[in-house]
Amino acid sequence: MSRPSGDLVSNKRAGHNYEILETFEAGIVLQGTEIKSLRDHGGSLQESYVKVLDSELWLVNASIAPYRFGNIHNHEDRRDRKLLMHRNEIRKLKVATQEKGLTIVPLAFYLKDGRVKVRIATAKGKKSVDKRADIKAKDDQRRIDQAMKRYD
């Protein structure tokens, strides 16, 4: 999964490890220098996930690097960050995780009208057989594209 233009930070492994079912947009509560660090693409969504606690969404284990020009008031690297969504969307996500056994994964941080947003998705984990099948399909498509290019 390549980074679409405009993404500050993307979770490249999400498409490989999960079958993405439905995507959502959420706001995020940031502190101090976190926005400056994100604008410098200083973050990582690897091994991060979203959990629902008391009708609130929390982004867990996401890393936003300390701002390199910051001072003693710099932010923590890994902390739980609150996500902002409408109540009915949060309820829908909560039902999906509890009843259907899905997980919520962050896909990317991006800017929209000067504010940082998080693209999150409900996803189902892939088994290793599914991952191998995806890799094989990509390799086959690459070979077909190369063959077509040679004969053009």
19-34 tens-digit pLDDT = 899 999 999 999 888 8
Decide: 21 and 124 in contact? Cβ < 8 Å: yes
| pTM attached to this predicted model | 0.77
Question: Out of 31-45, 60-74, 106-120, 135-149, which region has the weakest mean confidence (pLDDT)?
Answer: 60-74
Distance CA 96, CA 131 (A): 23
Q: Helices (H) and strands (E) in the chain — how many of each?
A: 4, 9
Phi, psi of 46 (to 5 degrees): -65, 135
Fold of 7-126: Small Protein B; Chain: A; (2.40.280)
Whole-angstrom Cα distance, residue 99 to residue 47? 23
Q: Hey, where are the domains in the chain?
A: 7-126
- pLDDT tens digits, residue range 124-150? 887 777 778 878 888 889 998 888 888
Distant-in-sequence contacts of 141-149, Cβ < 8 A, 24+ apart: none
